[in-house]
Amino acid sequence: MHPPVWMRFVTGLSAFVYAPFYLVLVYALIRGRNWIQLPAVIYATMIVTLTGVVVFGVEFIGEQPYRTPNPLGFLAYNLPYVLIPLLLLIRMRKPEPFTRKV
């Protein structure tokens, strides 16, 4: 297959922007650092928008040959990729998501 240019950008973002960010995100989540809040919101919004709207839209209602022949298999592999950032977005709603009340 020869993916369209927009799909190359989406996969390029995943490889060169999201992948390094995952290391920073994991560090901040493990250490409980509040400075990760804004970058996490930006990341989660990008994932939900690009994957949840654009990629899912093309896979389910797009033109051939980009429409998936196996919708359940596609959802099994890709739905967690959207749900986990949504959960992160919910966690980051607080002003200081890692500060505990004493």
The model's pLDDT over 72-98, given as tens digits with 9 standing for 90+, comes to 999 999 899 899 999 999 999 988 888
Distance CA 99, CA 69 (A): 46
Residue whose pair of structure tokens reads 């977005």 in the numeric block: 89
Residue whose pair of structure tokens reads 């209602």 in the numeric block: 61
Mean pLDDT of the region 29-53: 91
Q: What is the pLDDT of residue 15?
A: 84
Output Rg (C-alpha) for the chain, integer angstroms: 16
Determine contact, residues 43/89, Cβ cutoff 8 Å: no
Portion of the chain with pLDDT greater than 90, in percent: 39
Sorted by where each begins, the domain ranges of the chain are: 21-91
Determine contact, residues 12/20, Cβ cutoff 8 Å: no
Residue 54 pLDDT class (50, 70, 90 cuts): confident
Mean pLDDT of the region 37-49: 92
